[in-house]
């Protein structure tokens, strides 16, 4: 068994790249993995979702992945209990309402999005300390839903999507991470546009264009719609896939490349809540 020590993980691009490296390392060992958190005192929700996905990915194959619960500091453990990460592994540890947007794994069967809509309405936006007018709530849910639909339609990941998030009352913003370990956006877009010159970030950028079509079928409005919404709420939208990152905000879209490939898609949203915060 190989022990992997997980560091503290924030949600900057460097932290995502660290997570991609962690995954490559874990998958590359070709032996059972044990994740140790003795050097970790902080995990942002993006890391929570990612680690749960990595755990499942390894366990779905030839080797196993386990978590060294004893290595987790009491403070971090409380956070992981609250946001439902622990509940995912042990159903006796029930999460409770706090600032976390509960960790969740969804397997969409037959395009049934009812549960995720309820989750977004109740656990994501239905918090007692948030007063969001129904109109805005429906708007946020509809836009977040675009990510799940995209993942369901294109990821080829067995329709499995992981979500986790958090409210930051002091800063008045909320963060949500939605990820799948599917084929990724560059792979899908490359099949449509067939332009080998484009790097992954540019291929992700193509997905932000309205009405991209492949075989005459209408397509490609989910991400543009989400981006418009993000701009309206003065938020930030980060999309990681392959070796690319596209960051969108009110000022525009920014393309970045990195060396650490990630097979899958992560949509990481930051919404300013002062518009909707009571």
Partner 1 sequence: MKSKNKTHIVKVNELVGPYCVTSSDGKATSNQLIHLVESGDQLIFDFKNVDIFSTSYFKGLFNCLHSEKDIREIEERIKTLNISELGDKIFTQVLESFKYSLNHPNSTSIIVDDLINSEVNSL
Only segment of 63-71, 131-139, 162-170, 176-184 that touches partner 1 (CB under 8 A): 131-139
Measured in whole angstroms, the distance separating CA 50 from the mean position of its chain's CA atoms is 7
CB of 92 to partner 1, least distance (A): 33
Judge contact between 240 and 16, C-beta under 8 A: yes
Q: Name which position in 3, 14, 129, 171 contacts partner 1 (CB under 8 A).
A: 14
Only segment of 51-59, 111-119, 159-167, 174-182 that touches partner 1 (CB under 8 A): 111-119
Residues 149-208 that bind partner 1 (CB under 8 A): 149, 153, 193, 195, 197-199, 201-202, 205-206
- Asked if 221 is part of the footprint of partner 1 (rule: CB under 8 A), the reply reads yes
Q: Where are the beta strands (DSSP E) in the chain?
A: 2-5, 33-36, 65-67, 100-107, 160-168, 173-180, 236-249, 252-272
Q: Which is nearer to partner 1, 48 or 201 (CB)?
A: 201
Integer CA distances (angstroms), 97 to 8, 75, 78, 147, 175, in order: 24, 16, 12, 24, 16
Q: Which is nearer to partner 1, 13 or 98 (CB)?
A: 13
134-154 and 222-232 are packed helices; what angle lies between their axes, rounded to 10 degrees?
150
- Asked if 251 is part of the footprint of partner 1 (rule: CB under 8 A), the reply reads no
Q: Which is nearer to partner 1, 114 or 170 (CB)?
A: 114
Backbone phi and psi for residue 138, each to the nearest 5 degrees, phi listed first:
-60, -35
Q: Give the Cα separation of 26 and 20 in Å (integer).
A: 10
Binning the chain into helix, strand and coil, the percentages to the nearest 5 are: 40, 25, 35
- Asked if 114 is part of the footprint of partner 1 (rule: CB under 8 A), the reply reads yes
Contacting positions for partner 1 (CB under 8 A): 13-14, 17, 111, 113-114, 117, 134-135, 138-139, 141-142, 145-146, 149, 153, 193, 195, 197-199, 201-202, 205-206, 209-213, 217-222, 224-225, 244-245, 254-258
């Amino acid at each position: 068994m190989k022990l992997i020590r997980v560091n503290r993980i924030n949600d900057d691009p460097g932290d995502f790249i660290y997570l991609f490296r962690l995954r490559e390392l874990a998958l590359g060992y070709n032996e059972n993995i044990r994740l140790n958190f003795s050097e970790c005192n902080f995990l942002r929700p993006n890391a929570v979702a990612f680690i749960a996905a990595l755990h499942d990915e390894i366990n779905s194959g030839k080797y196993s992945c386990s978590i060294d619960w004893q290595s987790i500091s009491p403070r971090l453990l409380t956070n992981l209990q609250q946001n439902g990460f622990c509940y995912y592994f042990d159903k006796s540890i029930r999460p409770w309402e706090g600032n976390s947007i509960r960790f969740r794994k969804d397997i969409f069967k037959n395009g049934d999005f009812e549960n995720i809509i309820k989750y977004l309405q109740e656990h994501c936006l239905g918090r007692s300390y948030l007063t969001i007018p129904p109109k805005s709530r429906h708007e946020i849910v509809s836009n977040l839903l675009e990510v799940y639909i995209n993942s369901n339609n294109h990821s080829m990941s067995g329709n499995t999507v992981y979500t986790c998030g958090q409210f930051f009352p002091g800063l008045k913003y909320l963060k949500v991470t939605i990820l799948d370990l599917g084929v990724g956006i560059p792979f899908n877009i490359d099949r449509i546009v067939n332009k080998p010159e484009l790097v992954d970030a540019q291929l992700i950028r193509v997905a932000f264009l309205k009405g991209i079509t492949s075989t005459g079928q209408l397509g490609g409005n989910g991400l543009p719609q989400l981006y418009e919404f993000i701009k309206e709420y003065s938020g930030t939208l980060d999309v990681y896939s392959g070796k690319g990152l596209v960051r969108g905000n009110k000022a525009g879209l920014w393309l970045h490349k990195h060396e650490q490939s990630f097979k899958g898609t992560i949509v990481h949203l930051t919404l300013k809540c002062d518009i909707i915060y009571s």
